[in-house]
Amino acid sequence: DTGVSQDPRHKITKRGQNVTFRCDPISEHNRLYWYRQTLGQGPEFLTYFQNEAQLEKSRLLSDRFSAERPKGSFSTLEIQRTEQGDSAMYLCASSFLGQGNSPLHFGNGTRLTVT
């Protein structure tokens, strides 16, 4: 399966701890996105990369959140000093933007629970 892969699938952490999630996109895709989804809501945009450049960040992405895509391949999303309000499903997606634009392909997400 060469789809978008996210690790871990589930993460339970105590308030105040730091967590890091990893996303491996589809290999030929040049764009990588992070979204967050809470119960009863659609996915909400957090940030995206084109290759290794982070092009846009949502106002939802507070200073405690940082995302990287150092070599333009996999990406990490780190949350520092987690809060209970950070509990959500964190979704990664990738796409190809070029002469032919592909739709975003999502991974199965990392479910974060902050206790």
Partner 1 sequence: DQQVKQNSPSLSVQEGRISILNCDYTNSMFDYFLWYKKYPAEGPTFLISISSIKDKNEDGRFTVFLNKSAKHLSLHIVPSQPGDSAVYFCAGIYYGGSQGNLIFGKGTKLSVKP
Binding site for partner 1 (CB under 8 A): 4, 31, 33, 40-45, 48, 50, 55-56, 91, 93, 97, 101, 103-109
Residues near 6 by beta carbon (within 8 Å), at least 6 away in sequence: 21, 22, 23, 24, 90, 91, 92, 107, 108, 109, 110
Question: Is the CB of 109 or the CB of 112 nearer to partner 1?
Answer: 109
In the bound complex, what is the minimum distance in angstroms from residue 79's beta carbon to partner 1?
A: 19
Question: Is the CB of 42 or the CB of 70 nearer to partner 1?
Answer: 42
- For the record, the structure tokens of 43 come out as 């996915």
Q: What are phi and psi of 92, to 5 degrees?
A: -110, 145
Question: Is the CB of 50 or the CB of 80 nearer to partner 1?
Answer: 50
- Residue 99 CA: distances (Å) to CA of 30, 53, 113: 12, 19, 40
In the bound complex, what is the minimum distance in angstroms from residue 33's beta carbon to partner 1?
A: 6
In the bound complex, what is the minimum distance in angstroms from residue 85's beta carbon to partner 1?
A: 19
**Distance between terminal CA atoms of the chain?**
33
Question: Is the CB of 80 or the CB of 96 nearer to partner 1?
Answer: 96
In the bound complex, what is the minimum distance in angstroms from residue 16's beta carbon to partner 1?
A: 27
